[in-house]
Amino acid sequence: MNKDENLIRAALAEWQAAFCARDVDRLMALYAPDAVFFDAIPPFAESVEEMRRKLVGCFRYFPETFAVESRGLTFAVGGELACAHHLWHFTDLPPGNPACGNWVRSSFTWRKQPDGRWLIIHDHCSAPFDPHTGKVVPAPADAAAGDAAATGTCGGDANPVGWFEIYVADMGRARAFYQAVLGVELARLENPVADSLVELWSFPMQSAGYGASGALVRMGGVEPGGNSVVVYFHCADCAVEAARVGAAGGEVVRPKSAIGQYGHIALVKDTEGNLIGLHSMQ
């Protein structure tokens, strides 16, 4: 997976997190000004401002907390355009809620912006129907019986841990070790923070695969050996989780800080002295 694929994957996670937070501004920030929506709810086509007004009206019917279950995420990136599709539905809604729990099909198209960001230019959400009855088909055939592979948390296919880093002293030696042992090729990653002495080589990343990927990192002032692996947890805004660390008995090592187009991170220690990372796009 290359840099652009990482950005698209993070944008998908941000879309679901923003929807679950009922944050219209945060959600619409993911769209280009000229984006066109084909929504499951009429009318047939809408602009960004029309969709914004619809969401403001719809979100008041959602409870304080709810979740999104997602499956079958697939995407592709090429040149200046990218696309993705998946199946999803709402969960944890009270009985009779108008948002209902029917499964829908969503597809997105992104366009790369001059500043390197990817913004959605087309959002298509629809539900299949039975041509004999004209009624919507509420779920895939296997969903009614449940799917052990599907998730029930806000964020859909995303697991809590989204990235790991293994710190090394000699990058050439470390790369040779992991490539020989795992039988893979590591790829050089662009340094996300200008003017910092950081070298990163990523492990292979599969867009539709399970689990998290990560990188070997050589950074001045960080000694390898012992517990020199850092895992990063997905957050909507890592400053929120970082603010809870002190009261929970931990320590903030590095407050929320920008890492360029990859978003923001905070580094904290848990009650046992383990260093962990918190990551968010905003």
pLDDT, tens digit, 9 for 90 and up, residues 214-242:
888 888 777 776 666 888 877 778 898 88
**Greater confidence, 237 or 82?**
82
pLDDT of residue 231: 84
What residues have CB less than 8 Å from 34, skipping those under 6 apart? 48, 121
pLDDT of residue 144: 45
Q: Where are the strands (E) in 94-241, listed by range?
A: 104-112, 118-126, 161-167, 187-189, 198-202, 214-219, 229-234
pLDDT of residue 148: 33
End-to-end CA gap in the chain: 22
pTM passes above 0.85: no
Location of each CATH 3.10.180.10 domain in the chain: 161-280
pLDDT of residue 67: 86
Class of CATH domain 3-126? alpha beta
Cα 251 to the chain's mean position, in Å? 26
On whether the CB atoms of residues 256 and 242 are closer than 8 A, the answer is yes
Mean pLDDT of all residues in 95-115: 83
Partner residues linked to 187 by β-bridges: 202
Q: Kindly tell me if the per-residue pLDDT of 255 is higher than 90.
A: yes
Which stretch, 149-153, 178-182, 205-209, has highest mean pLDDT? 178-182
Location of each CATH 3.10.450.50 domain in the chain: 3-126
CA distances from 142 to 70, 149, 187 (A): 14, 11, 38
Question: What is the C-alpha separation between 77 and 166, in angstroms, rounded?
Answer: 27
**Greater confidence, 98 or 210?**
98
**Amino acid letter, 32:** A
Three-state secondary-structure class, residue 219: strand
Q: Kindly tell me if the per-residue pLDDT of 55 is higher than 70.
A: yes
Q: Which band of pLDDT confidence, cut at 50, 70 and 90, is reported for residue 19?
A: very high
CA distances from 169 to 40, 193, 199, 229 (A): 53, 19, 11, 13
Q: What is the fold of 161-280?
A: 2,3-Dihydroxybiphenyl 1,2-Dioxygenase; domain 1 (3.10.180)
Question: What is the C-alpha separation between 220 and 265, in angstroms, rounded?
Answer: 18
On whether the CB atoms of residues 233 and 279 are closer than 8 A, the answer is yes
Q: Which band of pLDDT confidence, cut at 50, 70 and 90, is reported for residue 157?
A: very low
The mean-pLDDT minimum among 43-47, 53-57, 76-80, 221-225 falls in 221-225
